[in-house]
A = this chain, B = another copy of it.
Amino acid sequence: MSAGERDERIEAVSRECIANKVRLLNRAVTAIYDEALRLHGLKISQMSVLVTVSVLGRASPGAVGRKLHMEKSTLSRNVDRMRARGWLDAAATEDGRTTELFVTAAGRRLLRKVYRAWSTAQERAAEILGEQGVRGITRTVASLTERRPAG
């Protein structure tokens, strides 16, 4: 095969690869939220964790990871950073292997403070995806969440 020869398969990968599209969309959407939240010193990655723990009330890292489909070591270090900032804390439980995460008062204040910025970003993202796009991803993520991922 010469250097200049076209390879139909590679062009098909370039056009069709779902991972490529999902990852590109991830970069674009994350940038929108991070920009809106920047003034508050928060990133959407951390806001997701904070909101998830908030809704669960008190939850083990494992439970949060399953809900977010996030690898346990990734979550472990994200939680470290958020504990260092005082937005999350952990309490011991009867099971010595785990802990219960909870949102601190400072974390709740932060969530209230950033709501408007989040809302602005959400509107921009909804515009980009369109109604169908939002419905599609909502359905897909719901189906992913129902399955029991490897803890």
Which A residues form the contact surface with B (CB < 8 A)?
1, 3-4, 7, 9-11, 13-14, 16-30, 32-33, 44-45, 47-48, 51-52, 54-55, 57, 68-71, 105, 108, 111-112, 115, 118, 121-122, 125-126, 128-130, 132-141, 143-145
> 3 closest pairs, A vs B, by CB?
A136-B136, A26-B26, A18-B125
- Docked complex Cα distance between A9 and B119 (Å): 10
Q: Is B68 in contact with A24, judged by CB distance below 8 angstroms?
A: yes
Specify the main secondary structure of chain A where it touches its partner. Answer: helix
| Given known contacts A24-B69, A55-B14, A136 and B138 CB-to-CB distance under 8 angstroms | no
**Central interface residue in A1, A4, A13, by most chain B CB within 10 Å:** A13
